[in-house]
Each structure stands twice: as structure tokens, then as C-alpha cells.
């Protein structure tokens, strides 16, 4: 789930590029573990900074146009380039496993229930 350019530009400029972990919620749905990439994705040679959320959950259908709420809990590693697509995929899998381990810690699990994820009905929040 990628954030729009407008949202990316509104992120604090002092957040380092790299891979993070935390919690994500689509609309008023369930809260799931996530991995977040902030940066330029050097493997794909992006010229615009992006913020891409990988929600660790399989959804039954697309959720384009829904509100995506995230809470960033921790940092996994800096952004880097890879020699091959296979190496990139392997790193992503390692990032997912690290996020799962970290988010199972009691101090991180409790944030899953935070009121931040309870959107008021009919309200659009940026």
C-alpha cells in the first residue's frame, strides 16, 4: 500500500530513509503487523521519495481509496541497493520476519489496541 505524493511530502523531513516496522489499519478494519519502506528504492532507481507499506496480512479484495492508518514502532535497517531481484526479495522476507518478532513483544503488542486506529465514522483524516 503506497502513500500518495502529497502524504509522502508531509512526512517529517528528519525521518531517515530505511525499513521500519509497526501497525497498520485499513479503514476501520483490523490492525495488522506491517513493514514500511521510506526512501527512493534504489533497486528500481526511483527519482521520487516513496513511503510503501507492506501489511503482513492477506486481504480478500483490493482496498484502493481506503484510509490507511499506520503507527511506526521501530527501525530495522537503512535503505540499500541490491544486486538482483532475488536478493531484494530475500531482504524483504528477512525484514518481515524481524517485524513479526519485534511486534510480538508485549510493549509493541499493546500499541495494536491504541485509539489512534478507531476512525470516527464518515471522517477523512490525513
Q: Give the per-residue pLDDT at 46.
A: 78
* 80 has a pLDDT exceeding 70: yes
Share of the chain above pLDDT 90, in %: 59
Kindly write down the DSSP assignment for every residue of the chain, as one continuous string: -BPPHHHHHHS-TTSPSEEEEEEEEETTS-EEEEEEEEE--GGGT-SS-EEEEEESS--SS--TTS-EEEEEEEEEE-----SSHHHHHHHHHHHHHHHHHHHTSHHHHGGGG-GGG-PPTT----
Catalytic (active site) residue 52: yes
pLDDT digits (tens, 9 = 90+) for 33-79: 999 999 988 777 778 888 999 999 999 988 888 889 999 999 999 99
- What letters, b where the CB count within 10 A reaches 16 and e where it falls short, cover 74-107? eebeeeeeeeeeeebeebeeebbebbeebbeeee
Which of 5, 9, 52, 94 is labelled catalytic?
52
The pTM assigned to this predicted structure is 0.88
CATH architecture of the domain formed by 5-117? Beta Barrel (2.40)
Amino acid at each position: 500500500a503506497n502513500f500518495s505524493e502529497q502524504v509522502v511530502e508531509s512526512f517529517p523531513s528528519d525521518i531517515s530513509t530505511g525499513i521500519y516496522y509497526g501497525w497498520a489499519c485499513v479503514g476501520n478494519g483490523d490492525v495488522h503487523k506491517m513493514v514500511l519502506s521510506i526512501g527512493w528504492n534504489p533497486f528500481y532507481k526511483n527519482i521520487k521519495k516513496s513511503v510503501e507499506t507492506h501489511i503482513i496480512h492477506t486481504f480478500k479484495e483490493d482496498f484502493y481509496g481506503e484510509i490507511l492508518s499506520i503507527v511506526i514502532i521501530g527501525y530495522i535497517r537503512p535503505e540499500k541497493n541490491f544486486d538482483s531481484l532475488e536478493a531484494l526479495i530475500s531482504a524483504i522476507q528477512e525484514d518481515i520476519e524481524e517485524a513479526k518478532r519485534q511486534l510480538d513483544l508485549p510493549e509493541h503488542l499493546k500499541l495494536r489496541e491504541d485509539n489512534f486506529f478507531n476512525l470516527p465514522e464518515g471522517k477523512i483524516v490525513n
